[in-house]
Structure 1
């Protein structure tokens, strides 16, 4: 029996590319408009005669058209069925192909349901600590989405800051530049005088005041930030121009993030920093010493090195507190894990607090088989003087496993000796046997009875 050919999505795309209505195409092919509609909805297979007529009328390659028709929906189905939720179901490729060919309507219905589920799945991740907030009204989530949309890379700011860094060097440093260019004096003041601020611009007295408990890296960064506000305001405004914010605070937080980005680019100019990163094999502590920056500042900067022609290892960055709250995400890798990940207790970023200031390396594997390499370490904010408030957090830099050999921390290996199986978040992870699970995954029915107690926290009826 010959296989039936359904080309609904391909036919609709061709018609739209040609600028035709269904009635126009029906007239060209000498059929009814309702027949074209049935073909586009995969309610009718395409006959050999109609395939030839379509190819001759619009000068299309028959083999290409037929191949697109059979492969497009099959590729979508194959991609959906790779979801870890289906990992324990035997799904031979031949059966998938038969499904898409013989039951295109059922296949399309499944794909629509799966797409809707994925959207709800991601929204739930956001609400349960796996994402960036619970809606557009969250200014922190807005700012994170703005940075993620640009993959935390703003080339115009980088270029302007690199040019400005040369002027700062010629002036003799940040303080000298502020004095020469803006007539501003820099003064260090006691914390009680600063009243909760680490930097304050006194326009009336023409002074930049800094908390005297700041360390050298902190002072340098605050002075660079002040210069960014003064000299790179136009570039910051331009970078903000394509942002859409539902809240005023979302815009303000994004603007502050861009000022910090510009300050980092001023202290660690793109060209010099990118070369040093490669030379030092991404030794974060070594780079921190070379540029007079902190571990966290360097880790931030490493996520931004994506200038075309001068790309370096794409990283994403996360910062968490001891309770597991994610206070910062920076994504230069474009990975789904970067948007949602961070809540798995098996990831070493959560155990870094046991060994303060020690760098912990770890090879990670997600349920879908993606592998990553992670370095994690604690960092401290505040506490520059006895009795001052101090906050301990952990930060992690993560790259795809394929880039790990370029990092000094991996020992140059290209294959992970062992990997830790982690998930994005418990509700999104389908590793049924995980002993660290805190909640059941979406889409799995629980098996709860008084006869058997499984080793894992939850048992599943469909296991």
Structure 2
């Protein structure tokens, strides 16, 4: 992994403000001058090793949380938004982008929200032209997209909810083999709710249905056992953690009731994952198993997707795990789930790089596909991908096929079983991937479908190549 300077201005400022400290008071605690702290908070200087050690010792701040500052996420999102042809004649430089993030973070968020609304409106007009042209003002973010962004910028981690799930797992003494039985007992004894597992009484796309008046929870019996267990704990978390979830939603600033209800379901899923895979026990097992997702799934009675997603959330302050990115794509290449605890960010409005192994996974269903990959910023990753299939039982049950990918910086290769026997120290062993063609700066990629939107192209009709243009 290449050495790089860490600029953590926004993170430092947030830590200081959360402690209600002035710059002078915070600087004294870090044993630096107030002027030096001001430079750090404004990203005029990279954070030094001495300051990092002071933050770790006095505030329990981990270097991983500094290296994945929200500034990087904002920069990636801004870079993608500004690659829109709309800004072709007036695209700001990277320095200007970084300056806007540092000096006007709220303006940056407002701009991104505006651009998302613009993209949403453009897509809706393209699909429903006659219906929308009469009322094309006041467009709010699509609820699902807004919730995805909210989780993304919240590091997909909610400490109070995570600890509540861990306490619940200890109380229920679940061990991966008793998940379902313990959930049924808790629902019956603590909440007076009976559970039925139905095959014919529920539609094929229904998972569960809770009737609090009748104190009855119906579960689709066609789901795999680990999915049934997960949704039982999801319903328990909805009931037991309602106050915590309400508090999170109250502070979320989500625009619509629909967005808040989508977020409520997502938070329930997070709490269920924190119960089935309690933080400290799961973290210890992940280290012991060297992050083998198939073994971890068997150990905790969870699905591969649940395990992969949980690995990407192990960023508890003071006890972080290996930083992973997690992504799920469908067969059309559309990203349906995404989260990154690493520097790697995902495209919002286009498909991911075709050279990424998450696409290759569809060629070998059910098999683990490994890849060493390098992004244009020089970061190197070990990535594993695998297909997953979701369906209920029965010939006519709908089948949903996805590929999931889990990746981490190669600096953590020794902790990851999938890196064994890969040539992590050899530069030519890495596939050169990007975010998407319209954002990628690589000039000689044979898989390029379109030129980057912020660069000119040069065409020479005398010379025929795989890609019929050069990037100027």
TM-score, scaled relative to structure 1: 0.70
Seen in structure 2, the aligned counterparts of structure 1 residues 195 and 405 have a Cα distance that, compared at 3 Å, is closer
Deviations 1:423-449 (A, max 9, x none): 111111111111101110133212234
Inter-CA distance 18–379: structure 2 relative to 1 (3 Å threshold): closer
1:217 and 2:226 aligned? yes
Query: In the alignment, does 2:294 pair up with 1:290?
Result: no
Aligned residue for 2:29?
A: none
Counterpart selection for 1:358 from 367, 371, 382 = 367
Q: Deviations over 1:259-308 (max 9, x none)?
A: 10000111111111111111101010001001110000111111111112
How far off its partner does 1:122 sit?
8.3
Within 1, Cα distance between the matches of 2:285 and 2:219?
A: 29
In the TM superposition, residue 73 of structure 1 has moved relative to its aligned partner by: 7.2
Correspondent of 2:442 among 431, 434, 439: 431
Residue 247 of structure 1, CA deviation? 2.9
Is the contact made by 2:360 and 2:369 (CA closer than 8 Å) also made in structure 1? no
Q: Once the two structures are superposed, what CA deviation does each residue of 1:27-68 show, in whole Å capped at 9, x if it has no partner?
A: xxxxxxxxxxxxxxxxxxxxxxxxxxxxxxxxxx9xx99xx8
C-alpha RMSD of matched pairs (Å)? 3.8
SS at match of 2:272: helix
For 1:42-61, what aligned pairs fall within 5 Å after superposition?
A: none
- Of 253, 265, 269, the residue aligned with 1:244 is 253
Q: Look up the SS of the partner of 1:426 in the other structure.
A: coil
Secondary structure of the corresponding residue to residue 316 of structure 2: coil
Q: Is the 8 Å Cα contact of residues 125 and 427 (structure 1) preserved in structure 2?
A: no
Structure 1 residues 416 and 424, CA, compared in 2 at 3 Å: closer, same or farther? farther
Residue aligning to 2:272 = 263
Match of 2:132 in 1: none
Specify the alignment match of 2:147 in structure 1: 143
Q: Which residue in the other structure is 1:105 paired with? A: none
Matched, 1:153 2:154: no
Q: Which moved more, 1:229-238 or 1:120-129?
A: 120-129
Kept in 1, the 8 Å contact 2:346–2:352? The answer is no
Cα distance per residue 1:129-170 (max 9 Å; x no partner)? 9xxx99951222211111112111111011111111223238
TM-score normalized by the length of structure 2: 0.69
Distance 2:423 2:456 in 1: 39
The answer for the alignment partner of 2:188 in structure 1 is: 179
Q: Relative to 1, partners in 2 of residues 1:228 and 1:443: Cα closer, same or farther, differing over 3 Å? A: same
Q: Deviations over 1:357-407 (max 9, x none)?
A: 111110110112111111100111224332211110000011111112210
Please give the per-residue CA displacement for 1:159-199, whole angstroms capped at 9, x wherever unaligned: 11111122323896110111111111111111453463110
**Alignment match, 2:198:** 189
Closer/same/farther in 2, CA of residues 238 and 227 from structure 1, 3 Å limit: same
Aligned with residue 431 of structure 2, among 408, 420, 424: 420
Report how many residues are paired.
Answer: 367
Give the Cα–Cα distance (whole angstroms) in 1 for the partners of residues 402 and 366 of structure 2: 10
Partners in 2 of 1:179 and 1:451 — Cα distance? 77
Q: Which has the bigger relative contact order, CA under 8 A and spacing at least 6? A: 2
Q: Which residue of 2 aligns with 1:447?
A: 458
Cα deviation, 1:237-260, whole Å, max 9, x if unaligned, reads 122232112233222222211110
What SS does the corresponding residue of 2:144 show, helix, strand or coil? helix
Q: Please point out which of 147, 159, 166 is paired with 1:162.
A: 166
Paired residues of 1:191 and 1:213 also in contact (CA < 8 A): no
Seen in structure 2, the aligned counterparts of structure 1 residues 248 and 414 have a Cα distance that, compared at 3 Å, is farther
Q: Provide the C-alpha distance between the structure 1 equivalents of 2:113 and 2:357, rounded to a whole number of angstroms.
A: 25
Residues 1:375 and 2:378 are matched in the alignment: no
Residue 337 of structure 1 corresponds to: 345
The 3-state SS of whatever aligns with 1:363 is strand
User: Could you tell me how far apart the structure 1 residues matched to 2:118 and 2:410 are?
Assistant: 27
Q: Which runs of 5+ in 2 are unaligned?
A: 1-21, 25-32, 47-74, 76-91, 102-107, 125-138
Distance across 2 between alignment mates of 1:324 and 1:154: 29
1:192-227 deviation per Cα after TM superposition (whole angstroms, max 9, x unaligned): 534631101122332211111011101101100010
2:321 pairs with 1:312:
yes
- Verify: 1:399 aligned to 2:403, yes or no: no
Where in structure 1 are there 5+ consecutive unaligned residues? 1-16, 20-60, 76-82, 84-107
- Contact 2:459/2:468 (<8 A) preserved: no
